[in-house]
């Protein structure tokens, strides 16, 4: 048992995240290490200006969409289930999205997950890779997949790092929250059991939503994501993705922590991730501890290491607040690169050799809900 904030940050970790020379150095190194395609994708994922259009690309499918033969994980759900393409239009802009409704749905309140894809992905790809629809059918969840268009980001990344997208009632955070509320109303979703999850840039945006809309989302599932508020422009975003955050940034978060709510997080990260440094997963849990625990006390953390035949080993850590509530559940997958653990090869950025992240997220969500006062309730 140890304090959640036990990992020391040495002088080697401290850097100027807004230094353009460091940004250029990182990008140049990425060209040699990862190749021009990955490096350029990462570059465009953080280089879009603030004024880009928020309008979605034209929908290619109105109403109910047929499953694609190239998406095997979608074809494993019952034929009677609903897989719809829709468009949301709100005060902050518009987005296409897809929604999965389980076969057993009968207008009764069901829990709902908002799934935010990563770079160069779309709802069909993300649904196939995570196999979330098949799991949602069995667990009776509604699943919503907002789509980031290229008009908003050249690599289809959610703009998690821009200041206007990190605060309540502003930017993409507000747009996704509006979309969430509209789908909740349309499908009579259980307002105490709304969750958000994402991969990479989508994971970072899911963190933004969990922090800024704690009255809407009961918990968040983050895969290969980043902490809240540790980047405010393209330069700092690239640096944090490559190296992690600094003590200085966490001091700023600590000063603001009294104004921040938190939600329980379950986070997955591969220790061989060369796109988003795995240190970001440690920082994400440390961030939630900062928001959750008073300055007079420290959170507890219990870790277990597991190995199983045929899949990657992992280290699973549980963090608790002063009252014994779950602050975070962290999975470090040993040998996993930048990929959804336990995912289906029918989608991009997946690795079927890891523990099933989608199944574990649903297990985590099943234990957490909001009560009528807007606070979290965690069942044993």
Give 220-235 pLDDT, tens digit per residue.
999 999 999 889 888 8
In a domain, 342, yes or no: yes
Please tell me which residue, 219 or 5, carries the higher pLDDT value. Answer: 219
Residue 31 has φ and ψ, to the nearest 5°, of: -60, -40
Please tell me which residue, 264 or 69, carries the higher pLDDT value. Answer: 264
Check residue 291 and give its pLDDT. Answer: 78
Mean pLDDT of 86-97: 96
In a domain, 297, yes or no: yes
In a domain, 163, yes or no: yes
Check residue 8 and give its pLDDT. Answer: 31
Q: Which domain holds residue 328?
A: 2-370
Please tell me which residue, 375 or 187, carries the higher pLDDT value. Answer: 187
In a domain, 375, yes or no: no
Percent of the chain residues past pLDDT 90, beyond the cut: 58
Please tell me which residue, 377 or 67, carries the higher pLDDT value. Answer: 377
Mean pLDDT of 305-325: 84
Check residue 29 and give its pLDDT. Answer: 44
Instruction: Return the minimum-mean-pLDDT range out of 68-77, 245-254, 315-324, 366-375.
Output: 68-77
Mean pLDDT of 182-201: 97
Out of 113-122, 251-260, 320-329, the most confident range is 113-122
Check residue 290 and give its pLDDT. Answer: 79
Residue 23: which CATH number?
A: 3.40.50.1820
- Which residues are registered as beta bridge partners of 278? none
Instruction: Return the minimum-mean-pLDDT range out of 70-84, 287-301, 342-356.
Output: 70-84
Whether 229 and 249 have beta carbons less than 8 Å apart is answered as yes
Mean pLDDT of 341-368: 97
In a domain, 8, yes or no: yes
Instruction: Return the minimum-mean-pLDDT range out of 70-74, 100-104, 250-254, 284-288.
Output: 70-74
Report whether pLDDT(53) > 70: no
How many Å apart are CA 365 and CA 143, to the nearest integer? 13
For 73, left (φ over 0), alpha (ψ -120 to 50), or beta? alpha
Check residue 70 and give its pLDDT. Answer: 34
Residue 56 pLDDT class (50, 70, 90 cuts):
low
Report whether pLDDT(187) > 60: yes
Check residue 304 and give its pLDDT. Answer: 79
Residue 102 has φ and ψ, to the nearest 5°, of: -65, 160
In a domain, 379, yes or no: no
Report whether pLDDT(250) > 60: no
Check residue 251 and give its pLDDT. Answer: 56
Distances in Å between the alpha carbon of 78 and those of 133, 146, 234, 359?
10, 22, 43, 18
Whether 345 and 352 have beta carbons less than 8 Å apart is answered as yes
In a domain, 269, yes or no: yes
Domain count, the chain: 1
Check residue 30 and give its pLDDT. Answer: 47
Check residue 301 and give its pLDDT. Answer: 66
What is the residue-averaged pLDDT of the chain?
Answer: 80
In a domain, 380, yes or no: no
Report whether pLDDT(205) > 80: yes
3-49 confidence digits (pLDDT tens): 343 333 233 333 334 445 544 544 544 443 444 445 545 555 655 44
Please tell me which residue, 155 or 80, carries the higher pLDDT value. Answer: 155
Residue 51 pLDDT class (50, 70, 90 cuts):
very low
How many Å apart are CA 140 and CA 110, to the nearest integer? 7
Check residue 207 and give its pLDDT. Answer: 95
């Amino acid at each position: 048992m140890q304090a959640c904030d036990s990992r020391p940050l040495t002088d080697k970790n401290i850097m100027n995240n807004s230094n353009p020379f460091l940004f250029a150095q990182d990008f140049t190194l990425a060209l040699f290490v990862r190749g021009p395609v990955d490096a350029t994708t990462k570059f465009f994922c953080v280089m879009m200006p603030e004024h880009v259009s928020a309008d979605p690309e034209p929908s290619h499918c109105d109403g109910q969409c047929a499953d694609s033969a190239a998406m095997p994980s979608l074809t494993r759900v019952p034929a009677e289930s609903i897989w719809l393409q829709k468009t949301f239009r709100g005060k902050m802009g518009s987005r296409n999205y897809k929604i999965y409704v389980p076969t057993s749905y009968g207008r009764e309140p069901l829990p709902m997950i908002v799934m935010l894809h990563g770079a160069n992905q779309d709802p069909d790809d993300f649904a196939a890779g995570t196999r979330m629809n098949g799991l949602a059918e069995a667990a009776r969840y509604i699943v919503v997949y907002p789509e980031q268009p290229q008009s908003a980001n050249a690599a289809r990344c959610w703009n998690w790092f821009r200041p206007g997208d990190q605060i309540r009632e502003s930017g993409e955070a507000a747009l996704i929250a509006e979309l969430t509320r509209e789908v909740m109303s349309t499908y009579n979703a259980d307002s105490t059991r709304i969750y958000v999850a994402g991969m990479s840039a989508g994971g970072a945006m899911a963190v933004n939503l969990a922090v800024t809309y704690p009255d809407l989302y009961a918990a968040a599932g983050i895969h290969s994501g980043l902490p809240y508020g540790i980047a405010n422009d393209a330069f700092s975003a690239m640096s944090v993705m490559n190296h992690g955050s600094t003590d200085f940034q966490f001091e700023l978060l600590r000063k603001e922590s009294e104004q921040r709510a938190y939600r329980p997080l379950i986070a997955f990260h591969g220790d061989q991730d060369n796109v988003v440094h795995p240190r970001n997963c440690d920082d994400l849990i440390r961030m939630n501890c900062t928001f959750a625990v008073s300055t007079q006390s420290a959170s507890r953390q219990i870790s277990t290491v597991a190995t199983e035949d045929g899949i990657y080993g992992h280290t699973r850590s549980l963090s608790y607040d002063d009252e014994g509530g779950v602050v975070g559940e962290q999975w470090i997958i040993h040998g996993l690169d930048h990929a959804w653990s336990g995912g289906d090869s029918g989608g991009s950025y997946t690795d079927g050799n890891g523990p099933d992240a989608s199944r574990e997220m649903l297990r985590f969500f099943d234990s957490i809900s909001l009560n009528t006062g807007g606070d979290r309730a965690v069942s044993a």
